[in-house]
């Protein structure tokens, strides 16, 4: 019997949208993902404010906080159990940036993962650029071919473009 893979915590957190239509994760959820206390995350953000422009982190308005709170009218008893400051909401960019200012093992893992992903993406783009130049050079030499061979090469070029297009290997309409 196969077990179902555990869904990534990023899936549920980033599924939330704020009133602006932006995917967000709340500071408490992000802190839990990175293995730190919420106050530690917020303190790191305050100390590194220049790394968190407005499109990385959003301080929720009073109305947004009230909408997100439970319908309970009773406040929790005890010192320190009620929210005194509005929570921060991090966009995808802000969530990644937060990993760079935290010192937890999980945050370091995330930073390394993101760096490796960007390097792989750059390598892939470089390979595509080289292939595009080679195809352009081949097309330029097609003028010396007879009509039948030229038509066959055009079909090959179309197939290559179809495989490398943004639709994941399928051309529109096929």
Tokens 């990993």 sit on residue: 99
| CA nearest neighbour of 67 among 54, 82, 86 | 86
52 within some domain? yes
Q: Are residues 27 and 63 in the same domain?
A: yes
Say what the pLDDT of residue 169 is.
Answer: 46
Q: Are residues 91 and 32 in the same domain?
A: yes
Say what the pLDDT of residue 46 is.
Answer: 92
Task: Give the DSSP letter string of 32-59.
Answer: HHHTS-HHHHHHHHHHTGGG--TTTEEE
Tokens of 96: 């990644």
91 neighbors 23 (Cβ within 8 angstroms): yes
58 neighbors 47 (Cβ within 8 angstroms): no
Distance, CA of 72 to CA of 18 (rounded, Å): 22
151 within some domain? yes
pLDDT 10s digits, 89-126: 898 889 889 999 998 888 888 888 888 888 888 888 88
Distance, CA of 116 to CA of 96 (rounded, Å): 13
Q: Are residues 149 and 99 in the same domain?
A: no
Higher-scoring residue by pLDDT: 12, 89: 89
Say what the pLDDT of residue 97 is.
Answer: 92
pLDDT 10s digits, 49-67: 999 998 999 888 777 766 6
Q: Are residues 99 and 128 in the same domain?
A: no
The sheet carrying 57-59 orders its strands as: 25-26, 88-90, 57-59
Q: Are residues 18 and 97 in the same domain?
A: yes
* Boundaries of domain holding 159: 121-164
Q: Are residues 131 and 54 in the same domain?
A: no
159 within some domain? yes
Q: Are residues 33 and 98 in the same domain?
A: yes
Distance, CA of 22 to CA of 10 (rounded, Å): 15
Q: Are residues 97 and 160 in the same domain?
A: no
Q: Are residues 89 and 160 in the same domain?
A: no
89 neighbors 18 (Cβ within 8 angstroms): yes
Say what the pLDDT of residue 164 is.
Answer: 67
Say what the pLDDT of residue 170 is.
Answer: 44
174 within some domain? no
23 within some domain? yes
The count of structural domains within the chain is: 2
C-alpha distances (whole Å) from 132 to each of 139, 151, 168 are 10, 19, 17
96 within some domain? yes
Q: Are residues 95 and 125 in the same domain?
A: no
Q: Are residues 94 and 127 in the same domain?
A: no
Q: Are residues 91 and 155 in the same domain?
A: no
């Amino acid at each position: 019997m196969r077990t179902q893979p555990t869904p990534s915590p990023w899936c549920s957190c980033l599924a939330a949208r704020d009133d602006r239509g932006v995917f967000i994760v709340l500071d408490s959820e992000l802190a839990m993902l990175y293995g730190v206390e919420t106050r530690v995350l917020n303190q790191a953000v305050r100390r590194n404010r220049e790394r968190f422009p407005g499109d990385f982190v959003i301080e929720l308005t009073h109305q947004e906080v009230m909408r997100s709170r439970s319908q309970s009218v009773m406040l929790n008893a005890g010192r320190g159990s009620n929210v005194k400051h509005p929570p921060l909401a991090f966009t995808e960019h802000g969530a990644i940036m937060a990993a760079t200012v935290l010192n937890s093992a999980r945050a370091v893992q995330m930073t390394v993962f993101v760096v490796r992903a960007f390097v792989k993406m750059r390598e892939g783009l470089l390979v595509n650029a080289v292939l595009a130049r080679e195809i352009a050079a081949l097309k330029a030499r097609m003028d010396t071919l007879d009509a039948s061979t030229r038509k066959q090469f055009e079909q090959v070029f179309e197939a290559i473009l179809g495989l490398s297009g943004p639709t994941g290997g399928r051309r529109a309409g096929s």
